[in-house]
Amino acid sequence: MDSKNAVSYELIRSSRRSLALEITPDCRVVVRAPMRTAQKQIDAFVAAHEEWLAVHMARQQARRAAHPEPTPEQREAYLCRAREELPDRVARYSAMMGLYPAGITITGARTRFGSCSGKNRISFSWRLMAYPDAAIDYVVVHELAHIRHKNHSAAFYDCIAQVLPDWRERRALLRE
């Protein structure tokens, strides 16, 4: 992505008010723009962010290389392991925290390892099972904490720290 070559990108126009850049998990550049923004303005915006794009594209490519898409056999193994282990982990930490989910679902989500709905249903991606046990436990405790705190406030992280004082190190394992 040097200055001699224009950055190729996918353009998505919508009723938004500002321009935004995104690098997708499959390493495509997406520009989101308001409906009436001139193409010249969009191109200038992308050109002004070439250095940012280069840095973040390299990070995304390194992340993809470190975490390639699992084979069908690996996927099945992760899914089986998730179904076996996650309910027990949730039960153990639920008892410790006094926070009980309305239900647990295993998904194939690519962009998040876990989520907690407004009705306190917790979902986990089977992809989480590719990470160390310490990281898995962090995600379980993180989602359980959302039953009490529907945000990422200081109180939310205090709730996590009561159970996992080393939560920052555990969270860092998910970013490697």
Query: Is the pLDDT confidence value at 64 over 60?
Result: yes
β-strands 121-125, 114-116 pairing: antiparallel
Pick from 141, 54, 37, 46: nearest CA to 89: 141
Asked if 89 and 152 sit in the same domain, the reply is yes
The pTM assigned to this predicted structure is: 0.74
Domain limit, last residue, from 33, 49, 66: 66
Asked if 60 and 43 sit in the same domain, the reply is yes
Asked if 124 and 88 sit in the same domain, the reply is yes
Position 57 in a domain: yes
* Strand order, beta sheet including 114-116: 103-107, 121-125, 114-116
Q: What is the pLDDT confidence band of residue 5, given thresholds at 50, 70 and 90? A: low
Q: Residue 113 sits in which domain range?
A: 72-173
Asked if 42 and 88 sit in the same domain, the reply is no
Q: Buried b vs exposed e over 42-55: b needs ≥16 C-beta within 10 Å?
A: beebbeebeeebee
Distance CA 130, CA 45 (A): 37
Is residue 32 a contact partner of residue 14, using CB atoms and an 8 Å limit? yes
Query: Is the pLDDT confidence value at 41 over 50?
Result: yes
Those residues whose C-beta lies under 8 Å from the C-beta of residue 17, and which sit 6 or more positions away, are 34
Distance CA 90, CA 73 (A): 25
Position 17 in a domain: yes
Query: For the chain, what is the domain count?
Result: 2
Query: Is the pLDDT confidence value at 26 over 90?
Result: no
Position 5 in a domain: no
Residue 104 sits in a domain whose CATH number is 3.30.2010.10
Asked if 151 and 107 sit in the same domain, the reply is yes
pLDDT value at residue 1: 42
Position 142 in a domain: yes
Pick from 115, 105, 112, 109: nearest CA to 75: 109
